[in-house]
Chains A and B, each alone.
Chain A
Amino acid sequence: MSQISELKKLYSKGKARKLITLFSFFIALVVAAVASVSVGAGSPRLAEAIHVIMAKLFPFLNLAPASRLTQIIILDLRLPRVILAVIAGAALAASGTLMQAALRNPLVSPYILGVSSAAGFGAALFIVLGISTVMFFKSYFIVANAFIFSVVAMLIVYGIARIRGITAESIILAGVAVGYLFSALLSLIQFIAPASDAVRAVVFWLLGGLSTANWSNLTIILPMAFAAIALMMLYSWDLNVLSLGEEAATSLGVNPRSILIASIVLSAWATASIISFTGVIGFVDLISPHIARIVIGSDHRFQLPCSALIGALLLLCADTTARVLLAPAEIPVGIVTSLMGVPFFLYLLMSRRRQIWR
């Protein structure tokens, strides 16, 4: 009997430790966000930034209004960008976790579904040839194209997998094939593009970046990404069970096919809703799940939110560096993400001796 309570205590202790880890990452993210709002081209610093945000959030405090310029820089330029970095990082990382867990493969990311290549193709289709899939919302032509082609890529992958039988292998293989197809089409468009300006615009879009952040974009991105992450959380237990194989999952009452389908739909949706606005941002989705697994373990009830927080933190730090380092010029965020993320990941990889995956 004593041993039962002992083991129980051990379990609740482990759980508490994981919750504390999650909370620490959350605090770190808030601190990083505030710091990020206070740096960049233009003058406003920490105190002013906090002042402006407080005045906006709590109008009843009757704080003295800051200058018009300061308000614009903080509220309309830096804040949306910080929020976009956080939600983009979180959604991409969560999608990566979902894909890796559902396909039981540590090397996959939403990229494997061909989502990114398809989005790039959609964007290029409009930038170079002026072909749009929607007739209205003129300012969202590129975004709509990218999103729609991402969804098309996912549907093709799903269709192929359905014919072959929905298993991790068939989805990975179909995804790789569809990814190659769309990158070939993308190269073709770049090759036949007449104007070099258009080609440059495509390359710029493909590099990805958060400079498109503004409030009207965020009102579309935030609900889409949040809903996706929340739905992903609901599958935590199923993902845990699936990690021991499809047969084991079935014998525990989980239908692996429905989990696989839900996973590809949710991660393609989350990824597409981000990268259609930001362009292709890679790496965060692949690496954040691994970092989370190292610091918090594989139980997806904790690993998924942890991965999202780490992704948010990673992308926020990278984007802040990207816009501050050579201000007023900007380094493409993808370059900074890898340059910052890889050493951190390698450090964790080498400092922990436990096996992380097999």
Chain B
Amino acid sequence: MALKLQINKLSFVYGNFKALKDVLFEVDRCEFLGVVGPNGSGKSTLLKCIGRILKPEKNAVLIDDCDVTKINLKSLAKVMGYVPQRSESVFPFTVFDIVLMGRKPYIHWTVSDDDCRIAIEALKYLGLEDLATRHFNELSGGEQQKVIIARALAQQPRILLFDEPTTYLDIRHQLEILDLLKHLTTTKQCTVIVAMHDLNLASRYADRILMLKKGSIYALGPPETVLSEENIADVYGIKVHVTRTILGAMQIMPVEPVGTHYRRSEVPIKSPPKQLVGP
């Protein structure tokens, strides 16, 4: 059921800034693909081009050999979902209203029993049943992110795109949401593409990692080979130690930026006050 996704020499230009240059790769079915790279390396632009939020060139993004620019938005919304970094609603909507919006590509006017059931199942999958009647804007960031993911699931897509889904979340929510994305690839036959900043989390969850540098692919492959000390030094400009934990998982420890004019050890760090209570 999963769909084949090909990115075929994708370039994208904002004004005269080249955000993506000849990006060429294929995504395996039911894969968890982590997209990493420094700020401005084109992660978000790549996801938006795949999700047709930005309009890519002809034949640059192909789903099952079909050009996304030729598919109408509504049909595309039935196979592909996009979750932004953060969502905000100007007007008050309940959580259930928001999740039901995921059925928009299928709904003309009335909400069918099926639409209702699918939306509720998506809510349950995220464990949000108790929040159904709460207002979206009154929830915490983590809960809001889950609601938006539930909405994307209500679209019943085969490909899901996440733009740094855990940036604003605490550690627990980060793990919860990434576990969930992993679960989608293993049990729901979804292909998941996630732009990420946290390299440790990326190495832990992604099947493959796509590393971008200035709009081009720097490396693509399993985390062990892509997230090497040399690659990270070259792409991010920082020195890192890559070690293994006792359990054998990769651990990436940032040490210091490479090539800055000051040394890490010389950066003055505020020492704690010697006496908290006066004499």
> Interface of A with B (CB < 8 Å)?
3-4, 7-8, 10-11, 14, 101, 104-106, 237, 240-241, 243-245, 247-248, 250-255, 293, 297-299, 301, 354-358
Contacts and interface: CB of A to CB of B under 8 A. Distances in A.
Nearest to B152: A251
Contacts of B52: 250
A256 B53 CA distance: 10
A297 B92 CA distance: 7
A15 to B, nearest CB: 8
Given A10-B132, A244-B88, A355 B107 contact: no
A237 B100 CA distance: 11
A4 B124 contact: yes
A193 B77 CA distance: 58
B155 A243 contact: no
Contact of B73 (A10, A247, A253, A357): A253
Contacts of B37: none
Interface in B33-83: 48, 51-53, 72-78, 80-82
The 3 A-B residue pairs with the shortest CB-CB distance in the complex, in nearest-first order:
A253-B77, A251-B82, A253-B74
Nearest to A236: B109
**How many residues of B sit at the interface, in one of the four size bands?**
35 or more
A250 B53 contact: yes
Interface in B74-130: 74-78, 80-82, 84, 87-94, 96-98, 101-102, 104-105, 107, 109, 113, 116-117, 120-121, 123-124, 129
Contacts of B91: 101, 106, 243, 293, 298, 356-357
B137 interface: yes
Contacts of B116: 8, 11
Interface of B: 48, 51-53, 72-78, 80-82, 84, 87-94, 96-98, 101-102, 104-105, 107, 109, 113, 116-117, 120-121, 123-124, 129, 132-133, 135, 137-138, 148, 152, 155
A245 B109 contact: no
Contacts of A293: 91-92
Contacts of A101: 91
A120 B124 CA distance: 55
B92 A354 contact: yes
A293 B90 CA distance: 12
A11 B52 CA distance: 32
Contact of B98 (A4, A244, A245, A251): A244
Contact of B121 (A4, A11, A252, A356): A4
A241 B80 CA distance: 16
Given A8-B116, A355-B92, A247 B104 contact: no
Contacts of B123: 7
A42 to B, nearest CB: 45
30 contacts: A8-B120, A11-B96, A14-B133, A104-B90, A105-B90, A237-B107, A241-B101, A244-B89, A244-B101, A247-B48, A247-B53, A248-B84, A250-B51, A250-B52, A251-B51, A251-B53, A251-B81, A251-B152, A252-B101, A252-B155, A253-B74, A253-B104, A297-B93, A298-B89, A298-B91, A298-B93, A298-B97, A299-B93, A355-B138, A357-B91
A253 B79 CA distance: 11
A357 B73 CA distance: 29
Contacts of A253: 72-78, 104-105
Contacts of B120: 3-4, 7-8
A254 B101 CA distance: 11
A345 to B, nearest CB: 16
Given A7-B120, A247-B53, A355-B92, 14 more contacts: A4-B117, A4-B120, A8-B113, A106-B90, A243-B89, A244-B89, A244-B98, A245-B88, A247-B82, A248-B82, A250-B53, A251-B80, A253-B104, A299-B97
B5 to A, nearest CB: 16
A354 B135 contact: yes
B129 A237 contact: no
A252 B89 contact: no
Nearest to A358: B137
A4, A7, A247, A252 — most chain B CB neighbours (10 Å): A252
B73 A254 contact: yes
Contacts of A255: 73
Contact of B105 (A11, A14, A252): A252
A220 B101 CA distance: 37
Contacts of B80: 251
A332 to B, nearest CB: 32
Contacts of A358: 88-90, 137
Contact of A252 (B88, B104, B129): B104
Contacts of B152: 251
Given A250-B53, A252-B101, A245 B87 contact: yes
B151 to A, nearest CB: 8
Nearest to B77: A253
A251 B101 contact: no
Contacts of A11: 96, 116
Nearest to B108: A237
Contacts of B90: 104-106, 243, 357-358
A327 B27 CA distance: 77
A7 B94 CA distance: 13
Contacts of B72: 253
A240 B94 CA distance: 12
Given A252-B101, A252-B155, A254-B104, A247 B84 contact: yes
A237 B109 contact: yes
B73 A250 contact: yes
Contacts of B88: 244-245, 358
B77 A3 contact: no
B104 A356 contact: no
A297 B117 contact: no
